Amino acid sequence: MTRSPQALVVTVKEWNQLDADFDLRTYTESRQQLLERLEAGRQAIDDWIEAHRSPRPGLAERAFLEKLLIERRALFAELVELDEALLHQV
């Protein structure tokens, strides 16, 4: 199948636009930052669990764990949104 020169120009323009929209560097940097924050959150939760393994945690300690878990859930949601945005660009 042979394409007309106009069709090739459109194809090149579309590819250049896709290439401009597809910023893999930004994605990988954002993803790395989120993964580092997730790892820090995981470590904080692990530390909390270790510190409260024996005594039954009080209300304030359980509230702090709840806060850590909510923050972690939000980070996972950000990671999913980042992946979804990349999927729409690929």
3-state helix, strand, coil in the chain (%, to 5): 85, 0, 15
Q: What is the pLDDT of residue 21?
A: 59
Token pair listed for 5: 């020169």
Token pair listed for 43: 């470590």
Q: What is the pLDDT of residue 8?
A: 46
Domain enclosing residue 64, as ranges:
26-89
State the Cα–Cα distance between residues 53 and 49, nearest whole angstrom.
6
Q: Is residue 72 part of a domain?
A: yes
Q: Is residue 68 part of a domain?
A: yes
Could you read off the pLDDT of 10-30 as tens digits, one per residue? 455 565 555 555 688 899 999
Calculate the average pLDDT of the chain: 84
Band of the pLDDT at 62, cuts 50, 70, 90? very high
Q: Is residue 15 part of a domain?
A: no
